[in-house]
Structure 1
Amino acid sequence: MDDTVIRLATQEDIAAVKAVTDAAYRRYIARIGVVPQPMEADHAAEVAAGRVFVTGVPVTGLVVVRAYPDHFFLDSIAVHPDAHGRGVGRRLLEFVDARARALGLPEVRLYTNALMWENQEIYPRFGYEIVERRTDGPYDRIHYRKPLD
């Protein structure tokens, strides 16, 4: 499995995008009391819009991103549990930074559910700082930003 190449997802990847997303987020359902938003995303529409990048053969990880005039938004990052500990998440986060820089955007933004405490340990290690905590519907979210130099 090649987890070093990160490429734009294609129509053929949609089932894998859903499977990896579900596998990565399923464990949080009981903890947060709702289905995590990435599991309910329209994966086909995101792929068609060119917002999904995948890695691995078969797909082991992915990011869903959006470019805005003043920032790059990391909508979702998912690594299949079978691929944990192999640096897939780190490579995906580095890809997001590189993509934002290539687009000339000054920062990356993301949010995570407050009950996904693992993420609150990971994101600061990659240069993200907390901006705010806000409730959006049933989701208690911590918003982060990472200025790019």
Structure 2
Amino acid sequence: MWAPMKIAIASDHAALDLKADLREWLIELGHEVADLGPDTADSVDYPDFGYLLAGVVAEGTVDRGIALCGSGIGISMAVNRNAAVRCALVSEPVSARLCREHNDANVIAMGARLIGPDMAKACIEAFLQSEFEGGRHQRRVDKLSNPS
């Protein structure tokens, strides 16, 4: 499979069950998982958890991040507010692989209302197993953090 990593996972209330399922699965695979919340199904604001996730990824506290909300859209927007983080919204493994290989994504986002646990796991496997290709992609990735 792949080498164990430190992975942060965060969601909003809509993705609480998917987050719990994915957290346990990742731990079973030998990864160290930082669950950034939430811990209950009470309504929360996805930007709060997206910003928290982006912060630990940007600090280098974890190797990769997984962001979840109802659609994946809102939390991915929040995560991408941090210039050190590249979050890709994915719904199938090809995009999850390509966001690593071509865009050096360090976070993926998925929508719990749009993707089931098995597809989410397939996306995570592709994301964690893939490496950034560099080369012709590097200058483009550099522009994501330094747009001027």
Q: Which has the higher helix share?
A: 2
Structure 1 length-normalised TM: 0.35
Q: Which has the higher strand share?
A: 1
Q: Which has the higher contact order (CA 8 A, sep 6+)?
A: 2
